[in-house]
Amino acid sequence: MPVVIDQVVISVEVSNQAAGGAKQAPPAIEEKQIIVAECVERVLEIIEDERER
């Protein structure tokens, strides 16, 4: 029986605490939007690659 995925939910948290870095001011809204857009683009590329197989 094939498994069909109708929806994918992706949550991303970006921080520098795990690397032991000093606390920095949060990135500007534009920078956050750029990061989210890159993540979405990469996920869509992965999904498209999986469909092609």
Q: Tell me what pLDDT residue 10 has.
A: 78
Q: Tell me what pLDDT residue 32 has.
A: 85
In this structure, is residue 21 part of a structural domain?
no
In this structure, is residue 46 part of a structural domain?
yes
In this structure, is residue 45 part of a structural domain?
yes
SS3 content of the chain, % helix, strand, coil (to 5): 45, 0, 55
pTM, 2 dp: 0.47
How many domains does the chain divide into?
Answer: 1
Q: Which domain holds residue 38?
A: 27-53
Q: Tell me what pLDDT residue 11 has.
A: 78
In this structure, is residue 47 part of a structural domain?
yes
Compute the C-alpha angle 36/41/47, nearest 5°. 125
pLDDT for 1-53, tens place per residue? 676 767 777 777 776 565 555 556 566 888 888 888 899 889 998 888 888 87
Q: Tell me what pLDDT residue 6 has.
A: 72
In this structure, is residue 49 part of a structural domain?
yes
Q: Tell me what pLDDT residue 8 has.
A: 76
